[in-house]
Amino acid sequence: MLGNTERPGGERGARAADPDLVRVLDDEGRAMRKPVLPIERRLALYEAMVRSRRLDERLERVQRQGRIGFHIGSQGEEAAVLGVAEALAPEDWIAPCYREVAALLHRGFPLEAHLDNVFGNADDPNVGRQMPVHFASRAHRCLSVSAPIGTQLPHAVGLAYAMKLRGEHAAVAAFFGDGATSSQGFHDAMTFAGVMKVGVAFFCRNNGWAISLPAHEQCAARALADKAVGYGIPAVRCDGNDLLAVFEVASRALDTARRGGGPTFVELLTYRAGPHSTSDDPTRYRDPDEVSRWAARDPITRLRKHLEREDAWDIDREAALLARVDAELKEAIARAEKKPRPSVASLFDDVYAEPTEALLAQKREALALDEGGEG
C-alpha cells in the first residue's frame, strides 16, 4: 500500500520521489501546483513559524541560565503544527501532545500567559498544577497537555463522541508523535474512533525519534499510516515540513470530521531539529549527517524561499521581522520573570468545593512554615 522510504538512523525520509507523500512545495520552495492558501495567510504563517522558532531558542537559553526549570520545543516541526492550526475552525478543539504551543498562540492565547506558565509565577493560568510548557485553555478550546505518552488520544475521542451525541458539528485535532503509536492509548483511541465514526483528525508528527528510540526500531510497518488500516480509518501521508501541504491535508481531514464522516489518520513526515527537551542530549544517539540532511529541508527556510519566489518577501522584511519578534519576546519574558511566585495558600485552592477541617489545618501549618514559624 505505502512504499518503504529511506531510513538512515531514525529517519523515515520525506523524499520527493515518494508517490504517497502529499506535497505542494519542493525542497527549494517551488510550488509544484497552485497553493490553496492565499498569499496573505502564507505570510502570516511564516511570521508565526519564525516567532515559534525564536521563542524556543530563547527559552532554551533561559533554561540553560537556570532561570526556568524545563523547556520542550518544536524546532523543525513548526509547519506540522501551524499548518494544522490554520485549518482549525473556531468551534474545533485541540488535544495537544506538548510541541503544539504555537497552535494555541495562533488561536489567540496570550504569549505572556504562556510565559507565566513557563516561569510558574503567580499569574500562571494553570495555577502551578502543571509542568512548564504543559498548557491548556478552555476559552481557546485546547485540552491540557498530558505528559504520559498517548493518554491525550482517548480524551480526544471521548470529547468527539460527546459532541456527536450533542449534535455538534465540530472536529478534534489530536496531536501526537511517532512513539505514541506504540502506546495503549493509541490503540484504544483508534479502536473506538473507527467503530464510533467520531470526528477526530489524528495528526501524527513523525519526527523520526521517540526521545532516543528511532522510529524504525519501534515499528516494523512500512509507514505509520499503515497502522490506521487495521482500525478501518482512512490514512494519508504528508510532507510535514511543507506548510502548504499540511494545511491542505489538515483542512480535508478536519472538514470530514465536522461533516460526520469519521476520523482520519494523517502522518506528517518531519524532523525534530533540536533535543527532545532541555533534559536531553541528542548528540549521544543521532548521526550528525542525518541532522544535516534534515536541516536542508527546514520548513521555515522552505517557506521563505517560496515567498521570495512570489516576490512577497525579501531580506529587509526578514530583518524587520526578526527585530520585532526578538523585542516582543525579550519584553514578554522580562515581565513574566519579574512577577511574584504563587502564594503557598494557593496550594489549597480547588481541592474540595468546601474545604474540610483537615485541609484547613494543613493550610495553617503550611502558612506558618512559609513565614518561618514552627510546623
Supply the pLDDT for residue 357: 96
Give 17-39 pLDDT, tens digit per residue. Answer: 577 899 999 999 999 999 999 99
The answer to whether residue 42 scores a pLDDT higher than 60 is: yes
Supply the pLDDT for residue 245: 98
Residue with the three cell numbers 520573570? 337
The answer to whether residue 1 scores a pLDDT higher than 60 is: no
Beta strands 209-210 and 213-214, pairing class: antiparallel
**Cell numbers at residue 132, please?**
512548564
Residue with the three cell numbers 489567540? 108
Q: Is the distance from CB of 222 to CB of 3 less than 8 angstroms?
A: yes
231 is an active site residue? no
Q: Measured between alpha carbons, how far is 125 from 24 in angstroms, rounded to an integer?
A: 38
Q: Is the distance from CB of 42 to CB of 82 less than 8 angstroms?
A: no
User: Percentage of the chain surpassing pLDDT 70?
Assistant: 94
State the pTM of this model: 0.92
Among 134, 163, 158, 160, which residue's Cα sits nearest to residue 147? 134
The answer to whether residue 2 scores a pLDDT higher than 70 is: no
Of 134, 141, 272, 306, the catalytic one is 272
When pLDDT is averaged across residues 99-127 and rounded to a whole number, the result is: 95
Of 23, 134, 276, 302, the catalytic one is 276
Q: Which one is predicted more confidently, 14 or 152?
A: 152
Supply the pLDDT for residue 17: 52
Q: Which residues of 87-120 are buried (b: 16+ CB within 10 A; e: fewer)?
A: bbeeebbbbbbbbbbbbbbbbebebebbbbbbbb
Give the mean pLDDT of the chain. Answer: 93
Q: Measured between alpha carbons, how far is 240 from 224 in angstroms, rounded to an integer?
A: 14
Supply the pLDDT for residue 130: 85
Q: How far is CA 135 from CA 68, 140, 145, 305, in A?
A: 16, 11, 6, 32
When pLDDT is averaged across residues 250-259 and rounded to a whole number, the result is: 98
Q: Is the distance from CB of 264 to CB of 202 less than 8 angstroms?
A: yes
When pLDDT is averaged across residues 227-250 and rounded to a whole number, the result is: 97
Of 41, 107, 285, 293, the catalytic one is 285
Give 311-331 pLDDT, tens digit per residue. Answer: 999 999 999 999 999 999 999
Supply the pLDDT for residue 147: 86
The answer to whether residue 375 scores a pLDDT higher than 50 is: no
Q: Measured between alpha carbons, how far is 186 from 150 in angstroms, rounded to an integer?
A: 6
276 is an active site residue? yes
